[in-house]
Structure 1
Amino acid sequence: MKNIILSMLTLLAISSCKDFLNPKQVNLVYNDVFWQNEKDAVTAVLGVYALYRGAMVNAQMYERGDVTTGFFRRGHNGGSSDRLYLPGNFVNVSDVNKSWGSLESLADWSSFYKVIAMTNLTISRIAAMNDNLFSSGNKSKLLGEVYFLRALTYYHIATIWGNAPLILESIESSNQVIDQDGNLKNVPRSSDIAIMETALKDVNEAVQRLEYGSKANFEGGVRAAKGSAQALSGYANLWMAFLQQRNGQANAQYIANAVKSLEDAVTHGPYSLAPYTDARAIAALYKGGSSEAVFELNISANANESYRIDKGGIQSLTCKVPPLDGDATKDRSSSINWIPASKKRFIYPNYPADRRADLFFGAWSSTYDEPFSDVSAVSTDRRNVTWLKKFAAFVEDPNAQKNEYIAYFADCNIPIFRFTDVKLLLAEAYIKNGQAGMATAIINEIRTRAGLTAPYTGDNPLAEVMQQRTSELIGEGKLFFDYVRNNYFQNVPVMEAERYRQQGYYWPVSSAILTSNKLVQQTPYWNGRTTW
């Protein structure tokens, strides 16, 4: 698996959208000679994982799900764009700050549709293969994995862009994409309801085909299993419940479905909460393959499945790094995202009793409210930069050049779903299903592990679930979507009420997409609000 993923990720890194399907790839997955046995099918499925991972390792979900909350701020010399969290100036046409309308690279959905194209092809081809070519149950399992990946990808598309093209056909001939006059066939945007319905249909197929596995044969969460499919089902059902409520439609069945899926994952899956005893326990959790690994992206320098942190990834945006030459002034303190003191009450209101603040972050007690820099009047001590430690696991590049001071490979997995996430999502579903008592038990379990021994006694358990999800999952790409789903925006002015009403939580579409597909129109809120 690791060699396949590495080669495909390398290809993704050097390929543009238009030359992605190069002859070597076409020979691999389109040629009828390829789909001859189980090994071929496994190779194709691993290729789908590689495409999905290639789309996700660039930290885009961290930027979409965390930086957009406004809790993080860019450093004096680098970090994420402040357009992710600052309101745009839409009155002055010449002002280049158009919020998300200034970030065209994040408005391009091409990487997601590459995954969709590969899943469509792989499902079609494996389904057509004779059952006797596979070991017992393996054909169904492989199909289940691909259905899961297609559902997950469409879930991302629906929560990021809302309305989007719905493509389920396997592309195996140029006649399917080019008409008789040689023009590209265009596909319009389907509704967010239709996209999520497709995700739900696919994930239900995955749940039926996949098994939980046991702790003895657990694959460390890097391959889809029944539990990961049920986690996705919970997410997709709760998002559909949100959409139906927004549209004035009944949503009780989707909430009940979410409860059932998440209960099954919690009760029957081989997962358990990891201890929060000390920094070593947290490092082990994010290293990967822990008891909380429901589904995660495998990032391992030892297995040649990694990337240089100075070239990209979440570490490049969040982590201080020990310079190889020992010069502390090169530790990137001014070049990463950080948490200002004024935002900390939203994340850990019970600090210092809440041990997660110091376990997940460096220098949480810092009072700095402006970025560290050598020219700052107050923020002059690099030791007082509050930074995210979750993904601070590196291995030195043995081929580093003498003038490369932060030549490290990333060496920890990236969680898509972890067990804490699943349990808190179940608590949310319980509350919406009229089972607040069941939710309170989960809330108190999470609070106790964090060092908050006093049980929750408030009268707004949903707000407490949102608080615990904020405290637990910050940095993992979930929070902004949680807040949209529940209209829970306490950190004004990240999402003004009018922007929310106009569905401005959906992203604009890039000019490249609008130009190449004439049937795609701009996301309504962003008409006239982009720089392209």
Structure 2
Amino acid sequence: MKDIKNIIRLTFPMLFTVVFLFQSCSDFLEQEPGTQISITEQLKTKEGFLQAIYGLYSHVESNLRTERFAVYADLQGGNLKFTPSLLSTKKGEISVPSVISNIYSFDDQAEESNFSSFYATSYDIINQTNLLLEFVDALPDATEAEKNLIKAHALTIRAYTHFLLSEVYSQNYGYTEDASHLGIVYNTQSITKGIQYPARETAANTYALIINDIETALPLYSNTELLNGPAYSYFNSMSTKALLARVYLSKKDWQNAYDTANDVITNSGVTLTNAADYISQWEQSDLPISEVLLEFSIPKNAAGDVGGSLSSIFGYTSETSYNSYVASEDLLNLYESTDLRRQLFLQQPLSTLVEGNQVKKDYYFTKKFQGNAGYTAFRLTEQYLIRAEAAIALNRLEEAKTDINTIRSRANATALNSTDNLNEILFLERRKELCFEGHLFFDIARNKKDVTRNDGCISLSCAMTYPSLKYVLPIPRRNINLNPNLKQNESY
């Protein structure tokens, strides 16, 4: 079986053209200049569709791996702080990386948003999925099962991308009692349909559309082989259900969250990584942890060189070669001394400027994302924690305690003996177990908690009281200016 990374490498020149065209205006789509391939030509054959799908997954991976998005939830929530500078002119100084300077202070600017590229790229990805959906039925050399799989991938990625946008740009589902507050633009038509000026849906409608896309995709999955490479690199029926469980959790649709997570736990064929292998599997330089449901694989060239990895954000090589983000003591202090998850932190003394003097201070790099780490989108442990949170809301407290203890037992943490205060225990368990996987800030918002950042916070704003208009980011001003129907988030 070919490695997906090599497939991405082999098709990259073609994919660059396709992605470029996907972002272009409808008039340009009708042209076929030079050696470029138009969308109509690219999507005339199954081979062209497969190249486009591989490119689509690559585009999703690179969007999520950007420093801005990869650190956002953990940085805003207080799990991360910064390492001292290695530059000779700023040796040992600690400062905020410029790419996240505004969001870190809860003061992003619509004119120069730190997240403007994430917003634009996300809608580019959505446009690509819409193009696939519009062209697939006319595909002459694919079976119905293959066409259905193409639709399933496109619909799921469309739903997933809209969901991520909603978490960043829309207040949590429970912000208003009936979720009537602003959601996002939900785009289901490509640029081939002409220029559109859509308005933002309500949060309620946004979630309904996300769920509809996922439920439409699920019966289209099959055992038909379509894409090469590791199965965990692409959405399938079970990782799509894992996404659906997360959406239901965010919506606080407790029964559906419980049932969907339970389905994944029971029927995915994936089992929790055991305690004996838990640390060593996270430390692997290439392969994901065994309980992974979906990891977006990183690109590699023919020589095996990595095109980009989360280690560029979280990595440590030596005292003179390391990257910007490490665990805060706010997070580290949550673990019991016996908790094996403490072993997931690489303790390293680094030269730090303190009151004009260079001193050695300890910093804690995560072992989750060293080496050639891919983006862990979904893994089984999260489904146990989703089922537990839903069970608490459904007053099935003993079941919730059992699920929490399953995760705590693997970590050699103290087992719960009662069902007291389960909501707070579950919140902290998610913070410890899912750290650096993109959950904390969204968990804080969903639970209507305040943000408190202590250790390592170098912002003028280290705390934020819920509710606040700053729990969401501004729509980039450029998009507001182009679309008269696009309403800005309040306070921006």
Task: Give TM class, smaller chain.
Answer: 0.7 to 0.9
Partner of residue 104, structure 1: 113
Which SS does the other structure have where 1:110 is aligned? helix
Partner of residue 325, structure 1: none
Q: 2:317 aligned with 1:321, yes or no?
A: yes
The CA deviation at 1:116 is 0.5
CA pair 85-74 structure 1, distance change in 2 beyond 3 A: farther
The CA deviation at 1:504 is 2.9
Aligned counterparts, 1:11-410, within 5 A: 20-21=23-24, 30-77=38-85, 80=97, 83=101, 87=105, 98=107, 104-108=113-117, 109-129=119-139, 133-135=141-143, 137-162=145-170, 163-172=183-192, 176-177=194-195, 185-211=196-222, 219-241=230-252, 254-277=253-276, 279-284=279-284, 287-299=286-298, 301=300, 307=306, 314-322=310-318, 328=319, 330-332=320-322, 336-341=324-329, 343-345=331-333, 347-348=334-335, 350=336, 352-358=337-343, 360-363=344-347, 372-375=351-354, 380-381=359-360, 384-393=362-371
CA pair 391-192 structure 1, distance change in 2 beyond 3 A: same
CA distance in 2, matches of 1:49, 1:305: 19
Does the aligned pair in 2 maintain the 1:107–1:508 contact within 8 Å? no
The CA deviation at 1:281 is 2.8
Which SS does the other structure have where 2:114 is aligned? helix
1:56-104 Cα distance to aligned partner (Å, 9 max, x none): 221333222111112312233266457467655xxxxxxxxx3577961
CA distance in 2, matches of 1:227, 1:19: 29
* Letter matched to residue 369 of structure 2: F
Aligned partner of 1:515 among 477, 481, 487: 481
CA distance in 2, matches of 1:302, 1:168: 34
Choose between structure 1 and 2: higher strand proportion: 2
CA distance in 2, matches of 1:265, 1:39: 32
The CA deviation at 1:391 is 0.8
Which SS does the other structure have where 2:186 is aligned? coil
Does the aligned pair in 2 maintain the 1:8–1:50 contact within 8 Å? no
CA distance in 2, matches of 1:213, 1:265: 20
CA distance in 2, matches of 1:318, 1:40: 36
The CA deviation at 1:301 is 4.0
Q: 2:464 aligned with 1:496, yes or no?
A: yes
The CA deviation at 1:293 is 1.6
Partner of residue 410, structure 2: 449
Partner of residue 91, structure 1: none
* Letter matched to residue 194 of structure 1: N
RMSD between aligned alpha carbons?
3.6
CA distance in 2, matches of 1:296, 1:448: 25
CA pair 341-168 structure 1, distance change in 2 beyond 3 A: closer
CA distance in 2, matches of 1:265, 1:213: 20
Which SS does the other structure have where 1:66 is aligned? helix
Give % identity.
19
* Letter matched to residue 415 of structure 1: T
CA distance in 1, matches of 2:162, 2:434: 22
CA pair 172-428 structure 1, distance change in 2 beyond 3 A: same
CA pair 519-414 structure 1, distance change in 2 beyond 3 A: same
The CA deviation at 1:159 is 1.0
Aligned residues: 451
CA distance in 2, matches of 1:213, 1:465: 38
Which SS does the other structure have where 2:352 is aligned? coil
CA distance in 2, matches of 1:154, 1:129: 26
Report which stretch shifted further, 50-59 or 107-116. Answer: 50-59
What are structure 2's unaligned runs of at least 5 residues?
A: 86-94, 171-182, 454-460
The CA deviation at 1:476 is 0.9
Partner of residue 244, structure 1: none
Does the aligned pair in 2 maintain the 1:4–1:47 contact within 8 Å? no
What are structure 1's unaligned runs of at least 5 residues?
A: 89-97, 178-184, 242-253, 323-327, 394-410, 528-532
TM-score by length of 1: 0.75
CA distance in 2, matches of 1:2, 1:342: 36
1:266-319 Cα distance to aligned partner (Å, 9 max, x none): 1110211113436423223x733543121111026476786566xxx5323322
CA pair 470-342 structure 1, distance change in 2 beyond 3 A: closer
Partner of residue 399, structure 1: none
Aligned counterparts, 1:468-479, within 5 A: 468-479=429-440
Which SS does the other structure have where 1:112 is aligned? helix
CA pair 230-340 structure 1, distance change in 2 beyond 3 A: closer
